[in-house]
């Protein structure tokens, strides 16, 4: 049996965005499993989190990359986010900044930015 493949998403805890992101990443990258690292307002968490909070995210990415062989990390923002209730344009900026932050951590993976719109469809912001 062929080994199953993984990708990683730093996504909102909001249940409405889980399946759209999972399905999009499975289709786009041909992966079976998506490791979900969830926070309320993940881009706000990444950009404003403490060193300890960011260390926790880095550890989870490391597990996904090192143990599961993930080759891509998606940073996800979405419409109507209770954890980071800002307009789309500002959220897109946060996604872009978060992508650059995660890239700076030096994992040997592609880092992309995604936005889940008001129709619960995934849009590529960067990557």
Domains, the chain, in order of start with CATH, read 6-39+47-126 (3.40.1050.10)
**Phi, psi (deg, nearest 5) at residue 45:** -60, -45
Q: The pTM is what?
A: 0.95
Query: What is the mean pLDDT of each successive set of 10 residues along the chain, which is 127 residues long?
Result: 79 97 97 97 96 98 97 97 95 98 97 98 95
Among the listed residues 68, 69, 53, 54, the one whose alpha carbon sits nearest the alpha carbon of residue 104: 54
pLDDT of 94 reads 98
Give residues with Cβ within 8 angstroms of 24, minimum separation 6.
114, 122
Question: Which H or E element spans position 105?
Answer: none
Q: How far is CA 92 from the centre of its chain?
A: 13
pLDDT of 1 reads 35
pLDDT of 4 reads 66
Among the listed residues 125, 108, 107, the one whose alpha carbon sits nearest the alpha carbon of residue 116: 125
Determine the Cα–Cα distance for residues 12 and 19; give it in Å rounded to an integer.
12
What is the dihedral angle through the alpha carbons of 41, 125, 71, 27, rounded to the nearest 10 degrees?
A: 100
Q: Which two tokens stand for residue 48?
A: 């404003």
pLDDT of 3 reads 60
Determine the Cα–Cα distance for residues 17 and 115; give it in Å rounded to an integer.
10
User: Which pLDDT tens digit goes with each residue over 74-97?
Assistant: 999 999 999 999 999 999 999 999
């Amino acid at each position: 049996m062929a080994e199953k493949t993984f990708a990683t998403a730093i996504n909102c805890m909001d249940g409405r965005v889980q399946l759209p992101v999972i399905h999009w990443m499975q289709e786009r990258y041909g992966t079976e499993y998506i490791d979900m690292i969830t926070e309320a307002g993940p881009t706000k968490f990444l950009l404003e989190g403490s060193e300890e909070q960011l260390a926790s995210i880095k550890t989870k990415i490391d597990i996904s990359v090192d143990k599961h062989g993930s080759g891509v990390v998606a940073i996800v923002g979405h419409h109507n986010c209770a954890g980071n209730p800002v307009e789309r344009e500002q959220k897109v900026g946060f996604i872009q900044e978060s992508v650059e932050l995660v890239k700076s951590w030096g994992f040997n993976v592609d880092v992309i930015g995604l936005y889940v719109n008001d129709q619960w469809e995934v849009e590529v912001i960067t990557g």
